[in-house]
Structure 1
Amino acid sequence: MSIKLINIGFGNIVSANRIISIVSPESAPIKRIIQEARDKGILIDATYGRRTRAVIITDSDHVILSAIQPETVAQRLSNKEDISDEG
């Protein structure tokens, strides 16, 4: 089984196998998910102080904030050129 890693900006990498969804942070339900994750201590802020443009939800219920567009993350997820570990 190979592990596929996705760059989510600024050198931060997430395992593609763990991603459930990639969404925009604009809606009220997503803002509520972000606040609840912050309160539980399962929020990972990978924006480096920039505006949040994508919210990545993982199968471990962690919520990851990224400063790149959801479309860009999805495109990197589907590309074969991303960092991967064959072993």
Structure 2
Amino acid sequence: MCQLRCSQLYIVHSTYMCHLQSSQLYIVQSTYMCHLWSSQLYIVQSTYMCHLRSSQLYIVPSTYMCHLQSSQLYIVQSTYMCPLWSSQLY
């Protein structure tokens, strides 16, 4: 979530610690670019960097459709996958 002000550009950094079924630990870093697309609809694009303990690195692009409500940015739908060396999906 990011606070909206007029039509400024917002960059939100976040880090996720994810635990997988294969007991591998992932660090997922993402950068969100929030910009005004219309009067109420926002587009959030982000890139995830999934880092394995085995030093394997995955870059996962993602696009979020967000709707502006009460000066808050809400995530309506999102899709992202992080492929594993074991062919599993994150």
Q: TM tier, shorter chain?
A: under 0.3
Q: If you compute each CA radius of gyration, which structure gives the higher value, 1 or 2?
A: 2
TM (normalized to structure 2)? 0.18
Select the structure that is richer in helix.
1
TM (normalized to structure 1)? 0.19
